[in-house]
Structure 1
Amino acid sequence: MADPRAPEAPVLLAILADGMGGHQAGEVAAELAVTMVEAFVLEHGDSLSPPSLLFEALRHASQVIYEQAQRNPDQTGMGATCACAWIQKGRLYIANVGDSRVYLIRRGQPQRLSVDHTWVQEALDNGWITREEALHHPQAHMIRQFLGSATPPEVDLRLRLSAQESDLQARANQGLHLNPGDFVLLCSDGLSDLVNDEEMAHLLNLHPMEQAAKILVDLANQRGGHDNITLILIGIP
């Protein structure tokens, strides 16, 4: 495994998309999201900072998905959530739209870096509901932002290290230094709905990385597996 902290190491870009929409439209949207973000990064990677690049790439992908849905009636309304992680010279940059998440697991402790774009998250942030009420709230999956919407999504560049941080402070965390032994985990809500943050960290500490990834998926399936379960796991040597 190449050491992403080394000066000569290549950039690592991870893109996770979770489709929305009937029939196969969600799958089409998710595939388009990954393809378009990757293509935009390859074309513009030398001209923008990592946060700006991810922001523009996700906006571009959203527009492509929306335009394709307009041209194909059977894909009307399709969309995707998306989470991205960019690692360059040992620094982490993230961006997300929707409720796919980015975590940092450091010294056995989980830290959810991204912020969900859901009604429930907004209600939590505003103190309208408690965390206990949020766990089984009927509007838990009412997504506020997604790729493929008619208006450009609000791509989130907050990298949240503390619930007490302001949005400005969270965005200033971009370029977070990664340490040897850290894990960066991207996942769809199919995993995070059924396996909590502490369980994810515990299994990563208990098992080799590849085995832990399989166990996480198996555990979510054992608990119902009612949605697509996708994850990307990055280990820092």
Structure 2
Amino acid sequence: MTLSVSLGHASLTGPRARNEDFVGAVTPEGAELENKGLLAVVADGVGGHANGREAAEFTVRSLLCDYYATPDTWAIPKALDKVISAANRWLVSQSQKRSDTAGMATTLSAIVLRGRRWVSAHVGDSRIYLLRGGELKRLTQDHVWEHPELNSVLSRAVGLDPRLSIDFSEGDLQENDSLILLTDGVWGSLQDARIQSIVEKHADAQEAAFALAEAAVDNNAQDNCTALVLRVAELPRDTLRDSLARIRELPLPPTLKPGQEIDGLTTLDVLHDSRVTLLYRVRNAAGDIYVLKTLHANADPHDAAALAHEEWIARRVTDAAFPQVVPWQARSHLYYLMSWHEGESLKQRLARGHRFSAAEVADLGARLLKGISALHRLAIIHRDIKPDNIHLGADGRLRILDLGVAESDGQGEGERFGEINNPGTPSYMAPELFTQGGERARANESSDLYAAGVTLYELATRKYPYGEIEPFQRPKFGDPTPPTRFRPDIPEWLESILLKAVAREPERRFETAEEFLLALERGAHRPLQVARKRPLMERDPQFALKLVCAVSLVANVFLLVALLMR
């Protein structure tokens, strides 16, 4: 069963010479409906401003198109915010460039229905209502200033100000819910009781929308009248949350030994055995080999939820730089399958005594950053980049392993479910991730790139830029040790890149994986210029005060001696 919604809309000009409202909706099917949901929008071009209709139409069309181009792993509010903010910047820029588009602005009310939830985004004085069980509830607040000579003056609108603040809210859906989106021409002419009565009277969503707009015109509306009605007929049985709940309720498999079977899979050997997780190499009846990831028998419900969330993230990372999740319908226990690849990790290669040349470091770094870039485009932070988690296959392909502590804002589940493993390895964690003054920064793209820099530094030198950091240690970070201190043959261009990548302050590092990658690809042809040491005043901001105090002390001593010798 999938989400089933009937939709109707109407937009009447009313007493105005021109209809400046715009309304639209997208009703996708299949995976797109499951991942992104149904999106419906109304907008009201700001009256008295140039090209209000154009502003409303541009904003609605941009949102309907671009929302579905955002990554599936983005949370709905984040995706809506990114797209609406981009439209706002464009409208503001048009106002600044051309005198005939000054003040080009519009209200906006949008709602997304996905799974068994709704999420709204709202700016201005159009409105969204929820009619449920005979009760009409307004879901939005009008953004207006009270004015003694006018009915209302908008305090917020898309295109009105470079800094746009959007109201977001969300809630659960129920079957037979009606979501009603109205511009002020309708709600300003009809009382809430009349709106409810009209929607309840018309079972068909299209008839209800037209009846609302027509009733507003008949009631002497002073503006364009636009209504959009959504009726929820059926809700899906299985949302992501339901799926995760079902998976984590499966029983944990027993500890498996080579030769034992589970769900048609034969265990070959144990690949990894940590405090909580287990990885087995298994084979199906056709001879295909996979990796099976599960938990120890003493794992708690939070660990089970985290494993289910890890699988959800891994399913969405389809880039070739990552192992792929393998669907297995016969699953009767809590685990998931990944593709198996012959080869070894970079840590194993280091342990074998391999000495990586500068060219190898640059090549591996470029491939690593392409994988990290693919991850960041999906709004996923790995949080544990290190040689142990970078695999070089027998096929020559580099793959990034272990999304066990990865974070995605697509559902906010990473924080909610907790983590199976510790979040990161100390020697590869950025300085800002260590607790400072009781607060610890949250991992982000910059900390992933820092870990990539430490990884390449280790491949080149077998050392860490700030020395090895033990768990629970509170390290103090000065300047990173130049790699040439450990390997004089490292070229200057590579040293500059490594020093920038592992800089103590985030603002001194590469901003994106693409920037880091470009620096490696340019190499010696266009080398970076990076200061080997920070200026003394940056390393010790109080140095000037200390120097003044020292000079003053010396001068006072001389004066005292001079006075005593008289």
TM-score band (shorter)?
A: 0.7 to 0.9
Question: Do the aligned residues in 1 keep the contact of 2:111 with 2:120 (CA within 8 Å)?
Answer: yes
Check the 8 A contact 1:106/1:182 in 2, yes or no.
Answer: yes
Please, which runs of 5 or more residues in structure 2 have no aligned partner? 6-28, 234-566
Report the Cα offset of residue 227 of structure 1.
0.6
Is the partner of 1:93 in helix, strand or coil?
Answer: strand
| Contact 2:208–2:229 (Cα < 8 Å) also in 1 | no
* Separation (CA, whole Å) in 2 of partners of 1:113 and 1:41: 21
1:51 aligns with 2:77: yes
Give the Cα–Cα distance (whole angstroms) in 2 for the partners of residues 79 and 48 of structure 1: 27
Tell me the equivalent position of 2:220. 224
The residue that corresponds to 2:151 in the other structure is 140
Give the corresponding residue for 2:44.
Answer: 18
Letter in 1 for 2:177: D
Q: Which has the higher contact order (CA 8 A, sep 6+)?
A: 1
Q: Which moved more, 1:36-45 or 1:190-199?
A: 36-45
Partner residue of 1:100 out of 126, 135, 140: 126
Shift, 1:32, TM fit = 1.1
| Corresponding residue of 1:210 | 206
Given that 1:119 and 1:139 are in contact with CA atoms closer than 8 Å, whether structure 2 keeps it comes out as: no
Paired residue for 2:104?
78
| Mapped partners of 1:224, 1:115: distance in 2 | 24
What whole-Å deviation, never above 9, does each CA across 1:176-206 have from its counterpart, x for those lacking one? 1111111001111111100121211111111
Structure 1 residue matching 2:43: 3-state secondary structure: strand
CA contact (8 A) 1:100 1:188 kept: yes
Q: CA deviation at 1:57?
A: 1.9
How many residues are paired up?
A: 205
1:233 to 2:233 alignment: no
Asked whether the 8 Å contact 2:3–2:114 carries over to 1, the reply is no
2:174 alignment partner AA: N
Describe the shift of the 1:62–1:138 C-alpha distance in structure 2 as closer, same or farther (beyond 3 A): same
Deviations 1:51-78 (A, max 9, x none): 1212222211111111122233211111
TM-superposed CA distance for 1:42, in Å, is: 2.3
User: Which of these residues, 90, 96, 113, is aligned with residue 64 of structure 1?
Assistant: 90
What secondary structure sits across from 2:167 in the alignment?
coil
CA distance in 2: counterparts of 1:22 and 1:153, whole angstroms: 20
Deviation per CA, 1:25-49: give whole Å up to 9, x if none: 0011001111222233122142410
Change (3 A) 1:91 1:9: farther
Q: Does 1:198 align with 2:209?
A: no
Alignment-derived partner of residue 56 in structure 2: 30
Task: Compute the displacement of 1:138 (Å).
Answer: 4.6
TM-score, normalised to structure 2, is 0.34
Q: Secondary structure at the match of 1:111?
A: strand
Cα deviation, residue 231, structure 1 = 1.5
CA distance in 1, matches of 2:143, 2:183: 13
Aligned match for 2:140, one of 102, 114, 135:
114
After superposition, give the CA deviation of every residue in 1:8-38 in whole Å (9 maximum; x if it has no partner): 6711001111101547600110011112222
- Give the drift of 1:4: 4.1
1:148 deviates by 0.5
Q: Counterpart of 1:218 in structure 2: which amino acid? A: E
Cα distance in structure 1, aligned partners of 2:124 and 2:214: 24
Q: Is contact 2:49-2:104 (8 Å) kept?
A: no
Give yes or no for contact 2:50–2:102 (8 Å, CA) kept in 1. no
Instruction: State the secondary structure of the residue aligned to 1:20.
Output: coil
CA contact (8 A) 1:4 1:88 kept: no
Identity of aligned residues (%): 27
Contact 1:41 1:57 in 2 (8 A): yes
Gaps of 5+ in 1: 124-136, 160-173
In 2, are the aligned partners of 1:21 and 1:78 still within 8 Å (CA)?
no
